A and B are shown apart, each in its own frame.
Chain A
Amino acid sequence: MPKVVTDVTCPFCGTLCDDLEVTVSDDNKKILSVRNACAIGAEKFNHTSLPGRVTRPRMRQPDGTFKEISYDEAIDWTANMLVKSKKTLMYGWASTSCQAMSVGHEIAEKVGGVVDNCATVCHGSSLIAIQDVGIPSCTLGEVKNRADRVVFWGCNPAHAHPRHMSRYSIFPRGFFTVKGHKGRKIYCVDCRYTDTARCADEFIQVQQGHDYELLNAFRTAARGEALPDVIGGVPKEKIYQVVEELKGGRFGVIFFGMGLTHTLGRNHNIDIAISFTRDMNDWMKFSIIAMRGHWNVTGSGQVLSWQYGFPYAVDLSRRTKARYQTGETTSVDLLVRNEVEACFNIATDPGAHFPIDAVVSMSKKPTVTVDPHINMSTEISDIHIPVAMVGVETGGCAYRMDNVPIETRKVVDAPDGMLTDVELLTKINARVDQLMGAQ
């Protein structure tokens, strides 16, 4: 009899929905169906049992093909690489459990690695801004229960966080928001008329790359000061109107994403968005939340912070101190300037998501990629080590975009003989100890 596992946490995006129901075959090996997930989450669960899954490590041969090797061989090769390299980039972490990250950090401290996570190409700009100006924020349940003014700025949850709007930000009926979306005013600021804008009451089209000026104008308007006629393609009348409407509410929140972090200005864009939010607190309750992308990039930031004091780009290569300086210890910069000797990717795909110059640099160094699936990174690595899918085949702690920790569960068994991240890293750690002890 197939069984239904309830309260399953979806391991895809920072929305970290925890109400999925997964139907599993009697022998615990196949996922039969998923309820409540969005299209992406459903694809993730349904895809685990499809044929063609890599179940053992593979090593790239001189002729470009891959040959299967044992876990022990892969672990030995990896440990040797780590011990030999003076400075290894250990990148990724955003799609694995906090328990696995802890083991990884131990290894990095021993061999001299730079531990960086996906924030480095995502919300790193936001983290820098928060380090400069702080952040007035709240949990997603507060938005659900209190928010009557919601602004989506430079983010597109309809595509990147599909259930966000129905679970938290637009549609839910909460304690003080019994009218649901009818009691909220929704604004969307973007350079394109996205599918999220379609759900908003008001769409404000900003010229690409001009968000800083527009946010600056919003701040100015909030203080009732004079504005030029058009800012970032938006007429000043519109800006005054929106700010007045915002002030008419009791609880406002801004959700923002890559439209601010990736564009010209980077951290300054978020800095001014936060400063606008802080200013608005003089008139009403206002908060701002970063739409974190991966389901556990926030977790990686948390574990790195409590262990070393920095949320990403942590350089442990001196082995006696932790250093952090964006531009110097961040992955793309390290790769482009050729400042690392080896690469260890885990729970990520820089091959597909880093700019090509960084990928070319990585391909020329000894590289190990740990990932359940074949992706662009595995194909340019020396070794690809598959592991169980966290959140599906093994559990572990994850942190949502508002930093709330939620447990992910094991729903099905991993393919026979496959290791989990924690098991793999523990074995690599032990082998590193052996090699370093012998030196």
Chain B
Amino acid sequence: MITCRTIKQGVGMEAGKTSQKYFDACSIIEMHADDFKSLGIWKNTNVKVTSSVGSVIVKAVETRQDLYPGLCHIPMGPWANRIVPAYTYSTGEPCFKGFPVNVEVAMNEPIMSAVNVVKDACGLLRK
């Protein structure tokens, strides 16, 4: 998994982190077409992405910035960082890029809003 900037993420950020633009830009995962096939995932459906830190629900989409099988990308933001390992190798820099994840079908699970993804993890979400 790598987590990077995209122009839509930048525009969404400036539109406001609670905006629809931001939600659409960042609550996604991009994968190679072969990975869609082998994992049995339909384009534009929700998936559950799990790392050593935890899980997050995002929408699986195609991208024209070609990856290769086994390499996936979530744009930087609260959904990506929900699963980024904090280990810094004493450099201060967490593992934003290059950590292993599991991706599985989660078609019926909803994607949380930007605020809720964070609040939920902090135990601040009132159910």
Chain A residues proximal to chain B, CB less than 8 Å: 12-13, 38-40, 43-44, 47, 52, 64, 120-121, 124-125, 128, 156, 158-160, 162, 191-195, 205, 208-209, 258-259, 261-264, 266-267, 293, 313, 326-328, 330-333, 336, 349, 351-360, 363-364, 373-376, 379-380
Contacts and interface: CB of A to CB of B under 8 A. Distances in A.
A352 B114 contact: yes
Given A332-B86, A373-B16, A360 B122 contact: yes
Given A39-B11, A159-B10, A356 B83 contact: yes
Residue with the greatest number of chain B CB neighbours at <10 A, chosen from A12, A39, A353, A354: A353
A160 B5 contact: yes
A205 B93 contact: no
B40 interface: no
Given A121-B93, A326-B88, A356-B84, 5 more contacts: A208-B97, A328-B90, A352-B78, A352-B114, A363-B123
B126 interface: yes
Contacts of B13: 40
Given A43-B14, A357-B53, A124 B93 contact: yes
B89 A266 contact: yes
Interface of B: 2, 4-7, 10-11, 13-18, 53-54, 64-68, 71, 73, 76-78, 81-86, 88-98, 114-115, 118-119, 121-124, 126
Contact of A159 (B7, B77, B83, B121): B7
A208 B2 contact: yes
A191 B85 CA distance: 20
Contacts of A330: 88, 91-92
A268 B51 CA distance: 25
Nearest to A337: B86
A158 B67 CA distance: 16
Contacts of B86: 332, 336, 354-358
B121 A360 contact: yes
Nearest to B30: A192
A121 B92 contact: yes
A263 B10 contact: no
Contact of B88 (A44, A333, A349): A333
Nearest to A333: B88
B18 A374 contact: yes
Contact of A349 (B17, B85, B93, B119): B17
A39 B13 CA distance: 12
B98 A156 contact: no
Contact of B73 (A44, A192, A327, A333): A192
A262 B81 CA distance: 13
Residue with the greatest number of chain A CB neighbours at <10 A, chosen from B2, B82, B122: B122
A331 B92 contact: yes
A229 B92 CA distance: 35
B96 A121 contact: yes
B97 A373 contact: no
Contact of B81 (A40, A44, A193, A359): A359
Contact of A43 (B11, B17, B88, B126): B11
